[in-house]
Amino acid sequence: MKLIIGNKAYSSWSLRGWLACKQSGLPFEEVVVPLYDAEWDRRREGAEFAPSSGKVPILWDGEAVVWDSLAIVDYLADKVGRERFWPADEAARAMARSMAAEMHSSFTALRRKHAMNIRQVFPAKRPDDDVLADLARIMELWAQARARWGGDGDFLFGQFGAADIMFAPVVTRILTYQLPVARFALGYMDAVIQHPWMQDWIAGAQEEDWVIQQYEQPSA
Ligand SMILES: N[C@@H](CCC(=O)N[C@@H](CS)C(=O)NCC(=O)O)C(=O)O
């Protein structure tokens, strides 16, 4: 398999696709392309980018191509077995799938106003009300998942899985912008950041030379 991703410093959807590949346990080649560099328009017109119309992540698996992070999770879960990604319990799985889908389709204020920048910690300031509303909903979801299904594990449904993959870039945004969160969330966020795959990704981001100025401001 070959996964094409954007800058590890900034590309939140790429992080999800990459974590999904790691979670699959399958070997994959990783190709990182610098978002919005001088070659971007030319590169995104290439055949490898055509299926997603230029967006990353894109997963190629022989003749099969999957773009969009949640589709990558589902494709890989079909390939290696659902239990690697989703909880076994039906009620837990229903919640995990709903949370992943809600993450995928919602929280636009948080995503728009606090772009991912994994290399930075910006001074704390009061977030806009729409961002606070997104954070309140995220806290509600995390609290319910942890209380009902966290068990002895550190993650939303105990073991690291698809729901954690989808929320991982939210964790990094909260830390980057020092956004206010409920106390219980600190332990969960720490578990996500300390996960070896996240540590690998963060190290990769630190090694990148590319800088996108727009994302180097506290309010992108
Ligand atoms: N819904 C897509 C979003 C993909 C996406 O928007 N990726 C961004 C990078 S984080 C991108 O490729 N932007 C480049 C562009 O839109 O030209 C997913 O889940 O993968």
DSSP 73-136: HHHHHHHH-GGGTS-SSHHHHHHHHHHHHHHHH--HHHHHHS---TT--PPP-PPPHHHHHHHH
Query: For atom 18 of ligand 1, which residue has the closest CA?
Result: 68
Question: Ligand 1 centre and the CA of 58: distance in Å?
Answer: 10
Which residues partner with 31 through β-bridges?
Answer: 4
Is 102 found in the same domain as 191?
Answer: yes
7 lines ligand 1 (CB under 6 A): no
Is 63 found in the same domain as 16?
Answer: yes
| CA 76 – CA 58 distance, rounded (Å) | 13
Is 189 found in the same domain as 101?
Answer: yes
Is 111 found in the same domain as 64?
Answer: no
Question: Ligand 1 centre and the CA of 76: distance in Å?
Answer: 19
The domain boundary, picked from 82, 105, 129, lies at 82
| CA 220 – CA 218 distance, rounded (Å) | 6
Count each helix (H run) and each strand (E run) in the chain, helices first: 9, 4
Is 193 found in the same domain as 96?
Answer: yes
| CA 85 – CA 77 distance, rounded (Å) | 6
Count Cβ atoms within 10 A of the Cβ of residue 197 and give its class: 0-12 exposed, 13-18 middle, 19 or more buried. Answer: middle
Give the residue from 1, 175, 157 showing the smallest Cα distance to 88.
Answer: 157
Question: Ligand 1 centre and the CA of 14: distance in Å?
Answer: 8
pLDDT at 217: 86
Is 176 found in the same domain as 73?
Answer: no
What are the Cα distances from residue 204, in Å, to 6, 118, 119, 148? 12, 10, 10, 34
Whole-model pTM above 0.95? yes
| CA 198 – CA 118 distance, rounded (Å) | 10
From 3, 5, 12, 13, mutation site for ligand 1 pocket: most ligand atoms within 8 A of C-beta: 13
Is 125 found in the same domain as 177?
Answer: yes
Angle 162-176/69-80 helices, nearest 10 degrees?
140
Question: Ligand 1 centre and the CA of 182: distance in Å?
Answer: 29
Query: Vertex 10, ends 55 and 121: CA angle to 5°?
Result: 160
Local confidence pLDDT in tens for the 220 residues of the chain: 999 999 999 999 999 999 999 999 999 999 999 999 999 999 989 999 999 999 999 999 999 999 999 999 999 999 999 999 999 999 999 999 999 999 999 999 999 999 999 999 999 999 999 999 999 999 999 999 999 999 999 999 999 999 999 999 999 999 999 999 999 999 999 999 999 999 999 999 999 999 999 999 886 4
127 lines ligand 1 (CB under 6 A): no
Query: For atom 14 of ligand 1, which residue has the closest CA?
Result: 55
CB-CB contact of 166 with 104 (8 Å): yes
12 lines ligand 1 (CB under 6 A): yes
Is residue 211 in some structural domain?
Answer: no
Domain that holds residue 146: 87-203
pLDDT at 119: 97
Helix locations, 146-182, DSSP H: 162-176
Is 117 found in the same domain as 37?
Answer: no
Is 193 found in the same domain as 98?
Answer: yes
